[in-house]
Each structure stands twice: as structure tokens, then as C-alpha cells.
Structure 1
Amino acid sequence: MSRKAAKFCRESRTIRTSLVLPPDTNNYGTMFGGRVMFHIDDIAAIAATRHARTSVVTASTDSVDFLHPIRNGQTVCLEAFATWAHRTSVEVFVKVVAEDMLSGERTVCATSFLTFVALDVNGEKQMVPEVIPETELEKFLFAGAPARARERLAKREQSKSLAERFGADSMWHLNP
């Protein structure tokens, strides 16, 4: 398995804007968190694929921090790009911005990091290119990536432990 040539963050940059409509919102007129998370995973997968130039699958989503509500009638703009790569995985940063189309006011509403694993046509892991940061923001995110990767690994081990402890049976049948 050989590594592909390194790529700049900008080569994976992906931007998408959508109008927030009533079916996207809850009874408070704000966008469903699950809908936001769908958009985050979708755009991050596109950015990871652009970086790896092979199929990718979501390995983890770090916490999605909802900072401000996104309201019916606003637009929601998501921007994603690869921030770091390990051997077969790519970390992607996603920023979610709401815009009031009449006033032009823009607000960062959520941020998240996701990790994707690159796979070939047989479902085997593939090496991914290293990431080359250029801007100060890209360098900042790149520098923090190894610590985030260690935190993810620790959380994954914790999740595995919980899964083993609880098993696949329904918790409703567990004795007190």
C-alpha cells in the first residue's frame, strides 16, 4: 500500500448553500439538529473523497456543537475541507453558517470534525495523501489534529467497552 502525493487543504474544500424550509424545521421554526448533522456528514464525505480520490466511509463524528439556531427562511451554508490525514484516514472540519437573506447577517451556527476511512473497490483500507496546510487557520487546525486523533481513539475504546458490556440485547430486559 503506497501513499499518494500530498495535497493542499484547498483541494478538498467543498461549499454548499441551501434554503431552510418548513419541512427542515421543528415546532420552534428552527432547523432540526438531525438535519444539520445529515448535511455535515454529507459535505464532509465529499471533502474527504476529494482529498483521497477514493471511496470513504464515516469512522467518527466528533461532537457537533450547535452554537446558534438556524431559522426557517434563512440559508444554511456549509464549508468543509480536509485538515489532516493519518495512514488510511482523513480528518475533515465543517463550519455551518446561517444567513438572513434580507439583512445579510451571517452567524456561525455549528462546527464539527469528522474522520473518514478510505476504501478501495473491495472494501480494503487505502492509504491517503498527507494534508498540506497553507493558511493560518489551516495550520492551526492541522497542529491540533494529532491531539484530536488521540481523543477519538480513547473515546472509541470507551464506546467498544460499553458495547461489550451492554451487548446487543435490549436494555429493557436487564435486571436492576
Structure 2
Amino acid sequence: MISKSPTYSRTTITELMIPSYANFSGKIHGGILLSLMDKVAFACASKHSGEYCVTVSVEGVEFFQPVEVGELVSLTASVIYVGKTSMIIGIHIESMKPKTGEKKHTNSCYFTMVAKNEIEKKTKVPDLKIENIDELKRFVEGKEIKKFSRKKRKLLDMGIESYDKENLLKACSMERCDVSAI
């Protein structure tokens, strides 16, 4: 299997934000942007792997600035890390006002995608061919994201199940929840 560079599979999708995408305050719904992120992550991962890919997790979705109706939103996705069957896709989103050309960085996130073969089994993906120091930094960043994601899942899986009623109530004692009915 031949390794592929991030440049090979880098994908950009640009879409006009229309009124039906907006909430009551005229800003674009976050769910619309998440759907577009999923599309660009799929396209990027599929280009790298040569296979159908599925989303298995989303990390670090951040909404820095609102997107307005009438703006053009460009989502650029790049493979930053590969495992045996998975890829972490970094996504950078910016919007542009068509009349002025003014751009703003609105969102960033990471999607973990897994390649599937024709019988829907996980399948190996090509290695990532690192061509410069920035790509190397992103690869190490992706490795840390994967490690953090696994640690978070492990903590959540073992943490809550190991609590009895008393410890659950204690964990919530300083929080804004009313447990008087329990």
C-alpha cells in the first residue's frame, strides 16, 4: 500500500448560507455546520483511504464566531493522523462576505473516520506521507487527540459504573441539580 500525503486528500467544500439554514436570530444553525463538517471529513477520508468511511467520533468542535445568511462558508479538511484503520481529519472553517471579501475563522474540529471495505469490515488505510515540519506537528497533534479520546472513553466507561448511590449524590452535591426526589 502506497503512503499518501495530506495534500493528496485535502478537500475543500464551499457553500452559500441560505435563509433556511438560519435560526431565529439570523445566524446559521450549528447543526448545519456540523453536517457540512461530516461531509468534508468523509470526502477527505475516502480520498486518502480509497474506501467508504464512517464517522466514529468528533473532538474539539469549537464555534468561534457566528455565520450569517448570505456568507460563503469554506470547509477545508486534511488527514492529520492515521492509525491502522482510522484517520483523524482536521477541519478548518471560514466564512466570507461575498461583497467585501472579508473572511473570518468560524470553526475548527477533528473527526475520526474509519475505512470500511465492501463487506463493511474495518480495512487498513495507507500510511501518511509527511512532507514538512507543519505536517509532522499535525501528526503528533493527531496522536495526542487519539490518546486523549481513548483516555476520556475509558474514564467515562469505568467512572460512572463504579459509583454507588452515595458517591453519585456526593459527586453532584456542589452542582446545580435537585436530587431531592431520589
Task: State the match for 1:58 in structure 2.
Answer: 55
Task: State the match for 1:132 in structure 2.
Answer: 129
Unmatched segments (≥5 aa) in structure 1: 166-174
Of residues 39, 45, 48, the one that matches 1:48 is: 45
Question: Which stretches of structure 1, 4 residues or longer, exceed 3 Å deviation after superposition?
Answer: 158-165
SS at match of 1:37: helix
Is the contact made by 1:75 and 1:98 (CA closer than 8 Å) also made in structure 2? yes
SS at match of 2:126: coil
2:127 matched to 1:106? no
TM-score by length of 2: 0.84
CA gap 1:74/1:123 in 2 versus in 1, 3 angstroms: same
SS at match of 1:64: strand
CA gap 1:25/1:12 in 2 versus in 1, 3 angstroms: same
Residues 78-117 of structure 1 aligned to structure 2 (within 5 Å): 78-117=75-114
RMSD, matched Cα = 1.8
Larger Rg: 2
Q: Tell me the CA shift for residue 124 of structure 1.
A: 1.2
Q: Tell me the CA shift for residue 59 of structure 1.
A: 1.0
SS at match of 2:77: strand
- CA offsets, 1:128-159, max 9 Å, x none? 11112334432321121211110011122245
Unmatched segments (≥5 aa) in structure 2: 163-180
Q: Distance in 1 between matches of 2:35 and 2:56?
A: 15
Q: Distance in 1 between matches of 2:121 and 2:111?
A: 20
TM-score by length of 1: 0.86
CA gap 1:96/1:122 in 2 versus in 1, 3 angstroms: same
Moved more, 36-45 or 127-136: 127-136
CA gap 1:127/1:164 in 2 versus in 1, 3 angstroms: farther
2:26 matched to 1:29? yes
Moved more, 126-135 or 26-35: 126-135
Q: Distance in 1 between matches of 2:43 and 2:68?
A: 25
SS at match of 1:121: coil
Is the contact made by 1:83 and 1:133 (CA closer than 8 Å) also made in structure 2? no
SS at match of 1:7: coil
Q: Read off the aligned partner of 1:85 and give its amino acid letter.
A: V
